[in-house]
Structure 1
């Protein structure tokens, strides 16, 4: 499932490539035909991400709300400028960048007529030869401008909302550090008033917005916290430190396009971490492997419907 940094990057992609001109909105799959008709022909004036939810405002005061869920993804194509990210993370074939002296397909600001898939990770795919490209797969909604197209597949939520409905949706979410830089107090209160394991609370989007399975495991290890500690038992300073670490990791993820949760890496260790997910996390997805700090086998259990990873020795 895409976590908060991915959704913020998707919102930035829309802001960069889709605001301004009128947008042709359709539903090739047919499941969003009525909603598409309400937005068709209007311009996007704003894109917003809050936690795992994204909102596109159109010039007639209606919004498109999207939650990608477990299987959703956006495919972008056309003359789009792509945020930089490690080549090892993108995968797929690199497209040739259009522009003088631009040899790297990862350069920021370089226009290209290609495909870019954005979900949990990002994949730069081959250049396209026909404009507009044919929809691939079950496309719930297509947003098309003269130079760019965005196709949405497999979302949990895709609906048109009024500003009142958008405000009500956001009001139900916990704080997001990139939206609520002063949300530390609300996060601490949300955690410390509940007799629920902190490993479960971090996955509750009404407690804090944007954290998913990877960030949950890594934040708890970085804090050396037992995932089963009730939120009400966390000292205030520990809860504050969790929020601040989440703000740091989220900003880093948005800037780099990666969930790189191990600090202090240098040289070959850093290059391996950039190229492979297996080398960039402390505990996530490392069941039975030795803890990188103490050597104890990493444990795994199901919590809040997802696999939880932690070190039984260091996280006590």
Structure 2
């Protein structure tokens, strides 16, 4: 399931390529025909992400709410505006698939003196005709197709919603939620979500998160996945945040020390920004430039415990444990996380 950084990146792409432009909306699959008819021919007024939810606002006070869920993805085709911080160190647009262009040449990464993507490049968009997929996972989603140079692109597979401008096309496949909301309904949806470090006031978000966690008897490993407690954290960030805090996942929230709860919020705030800037869930610190590039290219080199079941802990050598918590796989070190 897409974690918060991916959804924020997708919203940025919509902000850059759709806001202020009139769209042609359709539902090739037929499951969103009525909704597409409502927004067809309207101008996109805003794009925003909160946790794992994305909202597109249209003139006339209609809001499109999309939750990608486990299998959803947006495919962008045409002339896509990006900036170098949307390109990750291996030349890919985050965790995406591309067809029809030399993507390494188009999205050449920009590094600072530490080997990381340059923050100063934000707001310097490039234009290129490409076909990209934006979602959390690429394995199992299949190829996008060979229509990158056709306009409009051919419909491939089960497209729930197609949004087109004169130059850009976005196809939505497999979402858990795709619905229109009134402004009141949109606000009601947001009100149910926990704080998001990229949306909420940092101090207010920290206070709300800390207070919620410390009054709950629920294990912290479940609380971090509860989108009413904190927005955007998924399976990868849960495991990594808990390891970085050296915290046993089974610790009841109310027994988590206040300073440690605050540390987790601040760490999540930092990791989320890194994820948005690089397109990768980079959770290891103090890597030299070569190790950083290696980690950006290979997931196995960028996490402390996630996906490392049975392997030795990078710090103490204890075998990393895999168990199920909240119907999802949880990875942790029983020695470091006491």
Q: TM-score range, shorter-chain basis?
A: over 0.9
Q: Which runs of 4+ in 1 moved over 4 A?
A: 88-94, 121-127
Aligned to 1:150: 170
8 A Cα contact 1:47 1:55, kept in partner: yes
CA change 1:155–1:165 in 2 (3 A) is: same
Are 1:105 and 2:96 an aligned pair? no
CA change 1:88–1:224 in 2 (3 A) is: farther
The CA deviation at 1:126 is 7.1
TM-score, structure 2 normalization: 0.88
TM-score, structure 1 normalization: 0.94
The CA deviation at 1:127 is 7.5
8 A Cα contact 2:98 2:132, kept in partner: no
- Between stretches 262-271 and 289-298, larger displacement belongs to 262-271
1:1-316 map, 5 Å: 1-82=1-82, 83-87=86-90, 90=96, 92=98, 95-96=101-102, 103-106=105-108, 109-120=125-136, 128-180=148-200, 181=202, 182-316=204-338
8 A Cα contact 2:5 2:273, kept in partner: yes
- Give CA deviations for 1:155-180 in whole Å, capped at 9, x if unaligned: 00000000000000000000000001
Q: Distance in 2 between matches of 1:103 and 1:276?
A: 20
- Give CA deviations for 1:93-117 in whole Å, capped at 9, x if unaligned: 67247xxxx9443466221111110
SS in 1 for 2:36: helix
8 A Cα contact 1:114 1:125, kept in partner: no
The CA deviation at 1:189 is 1.1
| Structure 2 residues not aligned, in runs of 5+ | 110-123
CA change 1:22–1:88 in 2 (3 A) is: closer
8 A Cα contact 2:53 2:66, kept in partner: yes
SS in 2 for 1:87: coil
Q: Distance in 2 between matches of 1:192 and 1:129?
A: 54
SS in 2 for 1:296: coil
In the alignment of these two chains, the number of paired residues is: 312
SS in 1 for 2:43: strand
8 A Cα contact 1:198 1:228, kept in partner: yes
Q: Distance in 1 between matches of 2:300 and 2:98?
A: 18
- Give CA deviations for 1:193-234 in whole Å, capped at 9, x if unaligned: 110000000000000000000000000000000000000001
8 A Cα contact 2:19 2:43, kept in partner: yes
CA change 1:138–1:304 in 2 (3 A) is: same
SS in 2 for 1:175: coil
The CA deviation at 1:52 is 0.1
What is the aligned-residue RMSD (CA, Å)?
1.9
8 A Cα contact 2:147 2:153, kept in partner: no
- Give CA deviations for 1:13-71 in whole Å, capped at 9, x if unaligned: 00000112210010000000011111110010100100000000001110000000000
CA change 1:93–1:130 in 2 (3 A) is: closer
- Give CA deviations for 1:109-149 in whole Å, capped at 9, x if unaligned: 22111111000157999782210101111000000000001
